Structure 1
Amino acid sequence: MARILIVDDAKFMRMTLTNILTAAGYEVVGEAENGNEAVHLFNTLLPDLVTMDITMPEKNGLEALREIKKVHSTAKIIMCSALGQQKVVVEAIEAGAKDFIMKPFEEDRVIEAVQRVLSYS
């Protein structure tokens, strides 16, 4: 069972993703509400996958992604973005994100992205 870290500054979004992922049989091992927490929890928990919001206080998702990838080059990170953030999504993919999912979350799309990214070796 894959272990997933959910990063989003909105508790409602973290709850939504947790419900979708646990219902699909994944284990949510932690939640972070900003980029600093995300980096710390990643280093502590070493999850199989991270869902990372782009816009967050303290350290945004792009900065956290770069910091995690610098130390853990094989980290599997899916960016979560709202409409109108396409430019940042492209930057995130270039920085090493494996996929992105749009908000509001569609259950099928979330599961499909997670399965695809976890199947990458």
Structure 2
Amino acid sequence: MQNKILIVDDALFMRAMLKKILSEAGYTQIFEAANGVEACAVYEAEKPDAVLMDISMPEMNGIEALKSIVKEDPDAVVVMCSAVGQEAMILEAVQSGALDFIVKPFKPEQIIQAVETALGKKRGGDNT
């Protein structure tokens, strides 16, 4: 699949796991960032079709990065990933422009479903 996906997480193992899940699902253009500052830079350079972003990260958290990305690109498709117990942050993320959120720990099929749903909305294929 030619869609560009950006994975943003400060944990290397989490980025590696998400990359493996997406690669096995046929995605070939996968970019990574370790914090919100990197996420904004990679987003600007690569213009990915979808972003999977952690909330809790050093330097710039996922909410701040989301707000920055959406400010630059109101059509950005961002799915937030967070640990259980961060309901207030999830709500803030959705209010700030996140399309969806996934609670960690997650199953591989949840990631694929969230990405495919997000890409469908980006293409305008989902009118719900």
Indicate the TM-score class for this superposition, using the shorter chain for normalisation. Answer: over 0.9
5 Å-filtered alignment, 1:30-69, equals: 30-69=31-70
Instruction: Give the TM-score of the pair, scaled to structure 2.
Output: 0.92
Which one-letter code corresponds to 1:112 in the other structure?
A: Q
Contact 1:29 1:45 survives alignment (8 Å): no
Q: Which residue of 2 aligns with 1:8?
A: 9
Instruction: Give the TM-score of the pair, scaled to structure 1.
Output: 0.97
Aligned-pair Cα RMSD in Å: 0.8
Contact 1:7 1:14 survives alignment (8 Å): yes
Contact 1:76 1:118 survives alignment (8 Å): yes
Deviation at 1:27, TM superposition (A): 2.5
* Residue deviations 1:76-95 (CA, integer Å, cap 9, x gap): 00000000011100110111
> 1: CA distance between counterparts of 2:112 and 2:49?
15
Partner-residue secondary structure (3-state), 1:20: helix
Contact 2:19 2:30 survives alignment (8 Å): no
> 1: CA distance between counterparts of 2:29 and 2:65?
19
Q: Which residue of 1 aligns with 2:85?
A: 84
> 2: CA distance between counterparts of 1:115 and 1:30?
17
* Residue deviations 1:90-114 (CA, integer Å, cap 9, x gap): 1101111001111112111111111
Which one-letter code corresponds to 1:113 in the other structure?
A: A
Percent identity over the alignment is: 50
In the alignment, structure 1 segments of 5+ residues that lack a partner are: none
Q: Which residue of 2 aligns with 1:24?
A: 25
Task: Pick closer, same or farther for the CA change 1:82–1:28 going to 2, 3 Å.
Answer: farther
* Residue deviations 1:43-102 (CA, integer Å, cap 9, x gap): 001010000000000000000000000010000000000000111001101111001111
Count of residue pairs the alignment pairs up: 121
> 2: CA distance between counterparts of 1:36 and 1:94?
21
Contact 1:18 1:28 survives alignment (8 Å): no
Partner-residue secondary structure (3-state), 2:56: coil
